[in-house]
Amino acid sequence: MRALLVVNPAATTTSARTRDVLIHALASEMKLEAVTTEYRGHARDLGRQAAQSSDIDLVVALGGDGTINEVVNGLLTGGPDPDRLPGLAVVPGGSTNVFARALGLPNDPVEATGALLDAVKQGSERTVGLGLATGTPGTEDEAVPARWFTFNAGLGFDAKVIGRVEQQRERGRKSTHALYLQQALRQFLGEPHRRHGTITLERTGEEPVTDLVMSIVCNTAPWTYLGNRPVYASPKASFDTGLDILGLSRLSTPALARYATQLLLSSPEKGPQGKHAVSLHDLDQFTLHSKVPLPLQMDGDHLGLRTSVTFTGVRRALRVIV
């Protein structure tokens, strides 16, 4: 097997020595070319080159969810074609690693490498569905390039929190769960639309859902992790179905306390619910419009401001070794 290993040298939980050990382990079982990313978007460029090459059977991403997202977007530059495109394998190296853990991989990079090598030997793989976000035709965002996401996206509050975290990281702070919680509280205290949201959810043939403050789009479950605790915004979400969405129409102090508690206590059987919560399962396509520009995030990356985004659930989009 000919494989390209895309290595993020800034991966949160792997040292240079650990990465060397992992590279040697992988190279012992496959013909491996390892490339270290040097700039934002480099992993996407490498994924695109692999998709266009006839010499690569497998792309291995060693890094966090952001690195994986870039590789996936590179692989799918020309659209999904699981039978033709190289397969994807992941070795978790970030602070949360939602995609890898949702696939059932160990969160430890050494253990995950062992699981990957076993899967390669056994020919174990699955084809997963992904989410695709595009600028909505007829709006000012229609020219925004399409982008794939592997596990979640969000327009509004959660994207604002991620933007705050990225600002703190640029100032030298380490990405931790405590940092996310701290910035979520600060965003809540400064949120101007927490009682009257600006987001409208539209689906063909259905009445629109208006005045949402927060919209979380899930391609799988869990939505994220707090340490070792999985958090389920949409417990039924799956790589084998369309997209799920959880929308909240109010984030007053009582509402925040209620829904935050429900998220912390969520399980594969039960997620947030209540009169200010809208939960929809297995959607093929829908659009989120906002009266004011709001931040958009995908797979934990802040992507700037948007006023209208159309989301599509694409089944059988990518072949994953697992």
Mean pLDDT of 69-81: 97
pLDDT of residue 171: 84
Tell whether the model's pLDDT for residue 55 goes beyond 80. yes
Q: What is the band of 164 on the pLDDT scale with cuts at 50, 70, 90?
A: confident
pLDDT tens digits for range 237-251:
999 999 999 999 988
pLDDT tens digits for range 84-135:
999 999 999 998 999 999 999 999 999 999 999 999 999 999 999 999 999 9
Mean pLDDT of 142-154: 97
Cis, bond preceding 222 (omega within 30 deg of 0): yes
Q: Which CA distances in Å does 90 have to 138, 260, 292?
A: 37, 30, 37
The proportion of the chain whose per-residue pLDDT surpasses 90, expressed as a percent, equals 79
How far is Cα 245 from Cα 256, in angstroms, rounded to an integer? Answer: 18
Of 11-20, 224-233, 279-288, the one with minimum mean pLDDT is: 11-20
Tell whether the model's pLDDT for residue 37 goes beyond 80. yes
Q: What is the mean pLDDT of the chain?
A: 93
pLDDT of residue 136: 97
Mean pLDDT of 201-225: 96
Tell whether the model's pLDDT for residue 175 goes beyond 80. no
**What count of Cα atoms within 13 Å lies in the side-chain half-sphere of residue 17?**
0
Higher pLDDT, 169 or 312: 312
Dmax (CA) of the chain: 57
**What count of Cα atoms within 13 Å lies in the side-chain half-sphere of residue 302?**
18
How far is Cα 269 from Cα 166, in angstroms, rounded to an integer? Answer: 32
pLDDT of residue 7: 95
Contact assessment for residue 156 and residue 197, using Cβ atoms and an 8 Å cutoff = yes
Instruction: Find the angle CA(211)-CA(258)-CA(255) to the nearest 5 degrees.
Output: 35
pLDDT tens digits for range 3-23:
999 999 988 888 889 999 999
Tell whether the model's pLDDT for residue 192 goes beyond 80. no
Torsion, Cα of 119, 116, 300, 56 (10° steps) = -80
Q: What is the band of 233 on the pLDDT scale with cuts at 50, 70, 90?
A: very high
pTM of the model: 0.93
pLDDT of residue 245: 98
Contact assessment for residue 221 and residue 108, using Cβ atoms and an 8 Å cutoff = no
Beta bridge partners of 34: 5
Scanning the structure block, which residue is given the tokens 């012992």? 28
User: Encoding tokens for residue 275?
Assistant: 């009169």
Q: What is the band of 172 on the pLDDT scale with cuts at 50, 70, 90?
A: confident
Packing angle of the helix pair 42-52, 65-75 (nearest 10 deg): 40
Tell me the backbone φ, ψ of residue 61, rounded to 5 degrees: -105, 120
What's the 3-state SS for the chain?
A: CEEEEEECCCCCCCCHHHHHHHHHHHHCCCEEEEEECCCCCHHHHHHHHHHHCCCCCEEEEEECHHHHHHHHHHHCCCCCCCCCCCEEEEEECCCCCHHHHHCCCCCCHHHHHHHHHHHHHHCCEEEEEEEEEEECCCCCCCCCCCEEECCEEEEEHHHHHHHHHHHHHHCCCCCCHHHHHHHHHHHHHHCCCCCCCCEEEECCCCCCEEEECEEEEECCCCCEEECCEEECCCCCCCCCCCEEEEEECCCCHHHHHHHHHHHHCCECCECCCCCCEEEEEEECEEEEEEEEEEEEEECCEEEEEEEEEEEEEEEEEEEEEC
Of 80-89, 132-141, 229-238, 246-255, the one with minimum mean pLDDT is: 246-255
